[in-house]
Amino acid sequence: MTPARPLALAALLIAATALPAAAHHGWGGYESGKEMTLTGTVQQIAFSNPHAMLNLQADGKLWHIVLAPPSRMSTRGLPADSIKPGQTVTVVGYPAKSDPAELRAERITAADKTIELR
Amino acid sequence: MDHDLAPAGPGWLVALETSGLGESLRQSVWLYPMVEIAHILGFALLVGAILAFDLRLMGVRAPLLPADALARLLLPVAVAGFALAVPTGLLLFTTEATALAGNPAFLAKLALIGLALLNILAFHGLAGRRMTDWSLSDRPPPGARFAGAASLALWVGALACGRLIAYL
């Protein structure tokens, strides 16, 4: 076998295993054309890895808001405990394609501070 | 996605996730990305070294680079990478144990790693045991070429499934 043939076989095997991503988690899983602004009361917040999340009561509905990793939230000015249950916050973001009550936030305004999350 | 932020599932997974270790990793600002970096470095060494050796098993650069000499460099690098990837992977698992246990990409990744490890055992018990016999031959024996191709597919598949955990 010449060296070129096993290399071609290797390339084929790699191509065969590179599966298409069924996006749900990255920004691809959200309706980027349907930007929404929600203002409501924080019910619960998890300032945790891999990304912070909060439950927001807004527009008569409980929304699940996906935020940024704690490290990014902190360096951009909203560290742990700067968002608490009962607080009023505003988020701008996109609803999930798979869940009408989930929203990925592009930015959040809390405690008179607005930070970008992407 | 579950709207209740509390973990639910089998008791031992909930216990792992709500343990002090899981909790502090989740809440940490920089420790979690550090563990991720170590995990990536671990599997980069593991998969990179293994794929290079797989290509040699399939016949690439034979007989220019002796297989047994190459094994003495690449296999310890792969072992070191594995030794770094496994404990850091376990730490990352504790942060989301309940969700990961039901994640199809995570389960597929574990299955592929299991098959890849079996492939390693089979290779070193069969064609690999006689490596000095064919180390300088123009073409490795069929067993070695098969093990190399299988290894390449399994490790790339495991890596792909690992990344897809976040998307499934």
Cα B123 to chain centroid distance, Å, stands at 17
Mean pLDDT of chain B: 94
By three-state DSSP, how is residue A22 classified? coil
A12: nearest CA in chain B? B153
For residue A6, what pLDDT band results from cuts at 50, 70 and 90? low
Work out the percent of chain B whose per-residue pLDDT is above 70. 97
- List of long-range contacts for B13-20, beta carbons under 8 Å, 24+ apart: B13/B97, B13/B98, B13/B101, B14/B97, B14/B98, B16/B93, B16/B94, B16/B97, B17/B94, B17/B95, B17/B96, B17/B97, B17/B98, B19/B94
- CA A66/CA A51 separation, integer angstroms: 7
- CA A62/CA A40 separation, integer angstroms: 9
Residue B130, min C-alpha distance to chain A (Å):
20
Q: Find the length of chain A.
A: 118
**Interface ipTM above 0.90:** no
In this prediction, residue A22 carries a pLDDT of: 33
Query: Closest Cα partner for A62 from A93, A101, A106?
Result: A101
Task: Spell out which residues of chain A touch residue B167, defining contact as CB-CB under 8 Å.
Answer: 21-26, 29
Residue A29 near residue A97, CB atoms below 8 Å: yes
Contact B26/A48, CB-based, under 8 Å? yes
In this prediction, residue A69 carries a pLDDT of: 94
For residue B4, what pLDDT band results from cuts at 50, 70 and 90? low
pLDDT higher at B117 or B10? B117
Place of tokens 């930015």: A107
Task: Spell out which residues of chain A touch residue B60, defining contact as CB-CB under 8 Å.
Answer: 3, 6-7, 10
pLDDT higher at B157 or A7? B157
| Residue B8 pLDDT greater than 90, yes or no | no
In this prediction, residue B6 carries a pLDDT of: 73
Structure-block tokens of residue A36: 């929404």
Contact A71/B33, CB-based, under 8 Å? yes
Query: Closest Cα partner for B54 from B42, B46, B160?
Result: B46
The burial of B121, by beta-carbon neighbours within 10 Å (0-12 exposed, 13-18 middle, 19 or more buried), is given as exposed
Task: Spell out which residues of chain B touch residue A71, defining contact as CB-CB under 8 Å.
Answer: 29-30, 32-33
Interface of A with B (CB under 8 A): 1, 3, 5-7, 9-10, 13-14, 16-19, 21-26, 29, 44, 46-50, 53, 55, 62, 64, 66, 69-71, 74, 79-80, 96, 99, 101-102
Question: Which range among A20-24, A81-85, B76-80, B123-127 shows the weakest confidence by mean pLDDT?
Answer: A20-24
Cα A21 to chain centroid distance, Å, stands at 16
pTM: 0.83
Do the strands A36-46 and A53-58 form a parallel or antiparallel pair, or are they unpaired?
A: antiparallel
By three-state DSSP, how is residue B65 classified? coil
In this prediction, residue B167 carries a pLDDT of: 86
Contact B28/A49, CB-based, under 8 Å? yes
Residue A63 near residue A102, CB atoms below 8 Å: yes
The tens digit of pLDDT for each residue in A7-24 reads: 666 565 555 444 333 334
Cα B32 to chain centroid distance, Å, stands at 20
B56: nearest CA in chain A? A6
A26: nearest CA in chain B? B167
The tens digit of pLDDT for each residue in A20-75 reads: 333 346 788 899 999 999 999 999 999 999 999 999 999 999 999 999 999 999 99
